[in-house]
Amino acid sequence: QIPFLGETPANEQANRGVTVVGEGPTCGLIPIGCRCDNVRTTGLKWNLDGSLPLEFGGLVSTSNRAMEKIITVESSSAPLIFTAEVTAA
């Protein structure tokens, strides 16, 4: 699960090992170096259901939208980069 900034106090995040990634709502998933199979997400406008691999030359999710406060990302293969918009203070 990936909470966005402001969802929980910083001390709770540190105690739970949560990685805060951004404020949203624009976000994306980018494969690192090779094809990523079985990628599933929840909480996005265009959730992935695992039916299409993420790979350059194919599907790369760079312009999705966070629709929920918590985003989940599951993948059974290669690592992914999760990108999130950071808004100006």
Q: Give the per-residue pLDDT at 88.
A: 61
What does pTM read for this prediction? 0.68
Instruction: Tokens for 75, please give them.
Output: 């993948």
DSSP 54-65: B-TTSB-EEEEE
Tell me the mean pLDDT in the region 11-36: 67
Are 89 and 58 within 8 A, CB to CB? Answer: no
- Percent of the chain surpassing pLDDT 70: 70
Task: Give the number of other CB atoms < 10 A from CB of residue 74.
Answer: 11
**Residue that wins the pLDDT comparison between 1 and 79:** 79
pLDDT higher than threshold 60 for residue 18? no
- Percent of the chain surpassing pLDDT 90: 21
C-alpha 34: how far from its chain's center?
17
Q: Give the per-residue pLDDT at 81.
A: 85
Instruction: Tokens for 77, please give them.
Output: 């293969």
Dihedral sign of CA atoms 53, 26, 41, 6 in order = positive
Each residue's pLDDT tens digit, 36-72: 999 998 889 999 999 999 999 999 988 899 888 888 8
